[in-house]
Structure 1
């Protein structure tokens, strides 16, 4: 199948929309390929032509969200003041807030391990590139760049999962600020 074919692109878009709609209504583990086919108004064989399983479809459907998370982390100025979350981070938490049910299901205990791993991988790569490009705070030379980046990426994914599940407060700006204070401290010059 040619993924550049407009028909294939339309079908994939319908499948991605269907899985996100279903994820907002029910746990990921209960979504079947048949239900996806019905929601997207395609036959079940068509679903399998594009995706081998629900998890790969979820991961593809959330790729824009993963990219947004990676961009937000990359755009945060590490020297921004402690008392105000940088705009990209605040916007990220607003986005997660607006889609909290889906994020809670994607990152929750019965969610998509592939999605969570993809998010950590993208964040780690973005931060590793940033640090390797000379934008790493001084004082962390004894910690490998990729380990530092993986630590911070895991922290953000963990906080997003915790917060989306309703355990981190109600307001996006408060969650963004709390995370920013932790993130900033972990990036600042080592003691």
Structure 2
């Protein structure tokens, strides 16, 4: 795969950063391409060179973060428990606070929340330890336990950002890990 030109990467990063900063201030629907262009200090033409519109930009930005979290899971899933995995998640969330605060906070995107939930549901589906009562009888994607745990994870992350990240990632990872292990152990 060819390396992307440094100028192109810098423009794309400026555009993504501009969108995130704007979303921290106001609703996505209120943001125009001109707003993004002004904030990123690039022309609208430059934005169109990389993205079809602001929806495409948001979609690619979301997919980039979901992909990064998926890689974290894949790198750590075999040799760690839920607390260790949770620590990697919460460290990533902290590194990208502006993004997650903007998309999970009060001005957030329901579209992102749904994608975030789908990611966690998929990860939980892959977990062989969730093979408890009734799972064989339930079609894929309709497992109540998985839905419950995925929604709980997303809810806790939302709570963490909405309350200004009151606990450090290590404490969050320990508590979420313990809850997952306790709940997965009863399935």
Asked if these proteins are the same fold (TM beyond 0.5), I'd say yes
Aligned equivalents of 1:46, 1:40: Cα separation in 2: 10
TM-align CA RMSD: 3.4
Higher relative contact order (CA 8 A, sep 6+): 2
Q: Which runs of 5+ in 1 are unaligned?
A: none
Question: Which residue pairs with 2:53 in the alignment?
Answer: 52
Checking the alignment, whether the CA contact within 8 Å between 1:73 and 1:89 is kept in structure 2 is no
Counterpart selection for 1:157 from 131, 154, 158:
154
The 8 Å contact of residues 100 and 165 in structure 1, kept in 2 or not, is answered as no
1:67-118 CA distances to partner (integer Å, 9 max, x unpaired)? 34345556457994xxxx6323112112223433431221123211222122
Secondary structure of the residue aligned to 2:163 is: helix
- Tell whether 2:133 aligns with 1:140: yes
> Is the 2:90–2:173 Cα contact (8 Å) retained in structure 1?
yes
Out of 90, 106, 110, which is 1:109 matched to?
106
Distance 1:180 1:186 in 2: 10
Count of residues in correspondence between the two structures: 177
Cα gap change, 1:73/1:5 in structure 2, threshold over 3 Å: closer, same or farther? Answer: closer
Q: TM-score, normalised by structure 1?
A: 0.71
- Note if contact 2:83-2:176 (Cα within 8 Å) is conserved in structure 1: no
| Pairwise CA distance, 1:123 | 2.2
Post-superposition shift, 1:155?
Answer: 1.8
Query: In the alignment, is the contact (CA less than 8 A) between 1:78 and 1:188 conserved in 2?
Result: no
Contact 1:163 1:169 (8 Å CA) reproduced = yes
5+ residue gaps in structure 2? none
TM-score for the superposition, normalised by structure 2? 0.72
| Deviation (angstroms), 1:127 | 2.6
